[in-house]
């Protein structure tokens, strides 16, 4: 498939652009337009939507790597559920991150305050996504997946991903057979992708696990969102899937993070039920069973102390959180580094602490790790510091802070000057990761009505849903839940679609 996808004529590019734009708008493969496309004053009522950036063709992806990623997801769910239950380990992680990260320190304070009072909700919901790139050492070597990161909060694009798979399936039946270099129907290997259904099923299971309401009010699910969210349709697709449920019926409401304290109250007493009054429906009150966070993952969501009070308020309530503070901290890059740092006699792997030693899951997990190092004063950390400040050696690495959301990483030659610009005492709050070398792939991206053609880099995300009980240490639900493929031009370092760098894609298995 080295000549896939084939070159297309200018006329074919115009035709595909027209078809994709209309299909995307008709099926909700959309975002609110960025200000660069439609200034806010042009659309004050927020009535416009624009097609999400997307590839014209599903990108080729090695079947062996796709299968590897799907197979290991339930082991990853179990691993991170177990880490979330290990307070002693997470205490050490926060200590190791040190004073260089106020955000993580403030999150930890929320946990300590609730712990002192006593948690009333012991069940946790994880909607996870494990992100990978294909790594190939050289031209003849077999491809393998290596993990880029593991997301435990606001794992987005499940709603748009399943739509992208449907778009490419539609094009494979209607448009690709008509090209000058035609692709016959059925020749592309396009796997089913039920990411929206799978993620909604995880929330539904947690809604049932919450049990019957213990107040006189009906239960509901809250999507905790950011104000002015452009990626709203991705979230809406999950809501619509949830609301297809008739038994039980699941009311869903969107609550901006900044309005938590305004519209919710806690029933003071042993139960600490969280009640929500929809501002537009003041005669209705609901008991909140699930808080699904699509916000709260970065410092910008906490502009003042009242935002931290709001997070504490949610954490101490009886609602099942997705995620809890502990699960959010389990998703830091520091945890990924501790899991993946190469094993030595003086530094054995911690995987057997969480996964049975005899289990093949341990080797399946370890096979996905890439080389990640601390920047502390341990033996591995001091070696990594030498690499990070060396103007030549640093070119094979990326420096990552403990952040979600794209746009935060420092690449290659930018690493030494960046480290010089911050106090050395803050270095341990970063991790140094060897860059993954993907095989060359080409595609055409449709972004804001314009075509961009050339080399691309693909990142595969596998979704997982998991429910566990922190107290009894039992896993109540564990499923793999579809996939995401994000693609960016091979000159772009960052891959976040919402952050404006990448685009939606789907896999053609090869």
Q: CA-to-CA distance for 170 and 411, rounded, in angstroms? A: 38
Catalytic residue of the set 59, 77, 156, 478: 156
Residue 95 appears among annotated catalytic residues: no
Residue 129 appears among annotated catalytic residues: yes
Q: CA-to-CA distance for 212 and 472, rounded, in angstroms? A: 20
Q: CA-to-CA distance for 507 and 510, rounded, in angstroms? A: 9
Catalytic residue of the set 12, 78, 229, 404: 404
Q: CA-to-CA distance for 165 and 58, rounded, in angstroms? A: 8
Q: 179, 233, 237: which is closest to 57 by C-alpha?
A: 179
Six token digits for residue 11: 């006329």
- Number of Cβ within 10 Å of residue 336's Cβ equals 22
Catalytic residue of the set 32, 59, 77, 149: 149
Residue 71 appears among annotated catalytic residues: no
Q: CA-to-CA distance for 475 and 206, rounded, in angstroms? A: 12
Catalytic residue of the set 429, 486, 495, 502: 486
Catalytic residue of the set 124, 151, 443, 478: 151
Residue 486 appears among annotated catalytic residues: yes
Q: 71, 67, 81: which is closest to 127 by C-alpha?
A: 81
Residue 395 appears among annotated catalytic residues: no
Six token digits for residue 507: 């896999």
Residue 404 appears among annotated catalytic residues: yes
Six token digits for residue 345: 């006699």
Six token digits for residue 500: 């404006």
Residue 156 appears among annotated catalytic residues: yes
Catalytic residue of the set 32, 123, 129, 311: 129
Q: Which strands make up the sheet holding 431-434, listed edge to edge? A: 372-374, 431-434, 397-400, 410-411
Catalytic residue of the set 28, 405, 489, 500: 405
Catalytic residue of the set 123, 204, 400, 488: 400
Six token digits for residue 258: 């900044």
Give 508's strand partners. Answer: 60
Catalytic residue of the set 163, 219, 321, 333: 333
Q: Give rounded-to-5 percent helix, strand, coil for the chain.
A: 40, 25, 35
Q: CA-to-CA distance for 168 and 57, rounded, in angstroms? A: 7
Q: CA-to-CA distance for 159 and 197, rounded, in angstroms? A: 8
Sorted by sequence, the CB contacts under 8 Å of residue 187 that are 6+ apart come out as: none
Catalytic residue list: 129, 149, 151, 156, 333, 400, 404-405, 486
């Amino acid at each position: 498939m080295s000549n896939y996808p084939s070159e297309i004529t200018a006329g074919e590019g115009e035709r595909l652009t027209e078809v994709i734009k209309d299909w995307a708008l008709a099926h909700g493969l959309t975002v609110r337009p960025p200000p660069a496309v439609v200034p806010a004053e042009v659309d004050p009522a927020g009535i416009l939507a624009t097609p999400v950036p997307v590839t014209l063709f599903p990108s080729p992806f090695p079947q062996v790597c796709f299968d590897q990623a799907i197979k290991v997801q339930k082991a990853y769910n179990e691993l991170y559920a177990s880490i979330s239950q290990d307070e002693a380990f997470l205490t050490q992680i926060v200590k190791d991150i040190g004073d260089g990260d106020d955000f993580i320190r403030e999150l930890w304070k929320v946990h300590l305050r609730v712990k002192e009072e006593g948690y009333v909700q012991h069940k946790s919901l994880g909607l996870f996504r494990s992100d990978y790139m294909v790594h190939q050492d050289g031209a003849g070597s077999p491809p393998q997946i290596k993990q880029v990161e593991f997301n435990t909060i606001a794992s987005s694009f499940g709603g748009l991903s399943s739509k992208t798979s449907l778009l490419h399936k539609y094009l494979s039946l209607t448009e690709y057979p008509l090209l000058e270099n035609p692709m016959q129907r059925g020749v592309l290997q396009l796997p089913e992708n039920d990411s929206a259904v799978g993620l909604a099923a995880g929330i539904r299971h947690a809604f049932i696990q919450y049990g019957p309401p213990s107040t006189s009010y009906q239960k509901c699910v809250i999507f905790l969102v950011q104000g002015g969210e452009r990626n709203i349709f991705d979230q809406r697709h999950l809501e619509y899937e949830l609301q297809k449920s008739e038994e039980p019926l699941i009311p869903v409401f969107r609550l901006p993070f900044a309005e938590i304290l305004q519209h919710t109250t806690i029933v003071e007493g042993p139960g600490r039920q969280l009640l929500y009054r929809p501002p537009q429906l003041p005669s209705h009150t609901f008991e909140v069973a699930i808080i699904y966070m699509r916000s709260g993952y970065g410092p910008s969501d906490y502009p003042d102390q009242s935002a931290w009070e709001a997070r504490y308020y949610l954490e101490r309530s009886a609602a099942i959180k997705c995620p809890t503070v502990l699960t959010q901290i389990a998703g830091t890059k520091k945890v990924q580094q501790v899991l993946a740092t190469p094993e030595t006699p003086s530094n054995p792997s911690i995987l057997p602490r969480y996964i049975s030693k005899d289990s093949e899951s341990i080797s399946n997990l370890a096979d996905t790790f890439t080389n990640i190092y601390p920047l502390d004063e341990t033996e591995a950390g001091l070696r990594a510091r030498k690499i990070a400040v060396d103007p030549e050696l640093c070119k094979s690495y990326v420096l990552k802070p403990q952040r979600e959301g794209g746009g935060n990483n420092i690449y290659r030659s930018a690493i030494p000057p960046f480290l010089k610009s911050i106090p050395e005492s803050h270095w341990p709050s970063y991790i140094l990761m060897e860059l993954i070398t993907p095989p060359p792939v080409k595609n055409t991206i449709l972004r804001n009505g314009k075509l961009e053609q050339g080399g691309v880099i693909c990142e595969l995300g596998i979704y997982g849903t998991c429910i566990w009980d922190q107290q009894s240490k039992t896993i109540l639900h564990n499923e793999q839940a579809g996939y995401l493929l994000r693609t960016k031009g091979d000159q772009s370092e960052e891959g976040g679609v919402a952050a404006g760098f990448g685009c939606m894609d789907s896999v053609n298995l090869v």
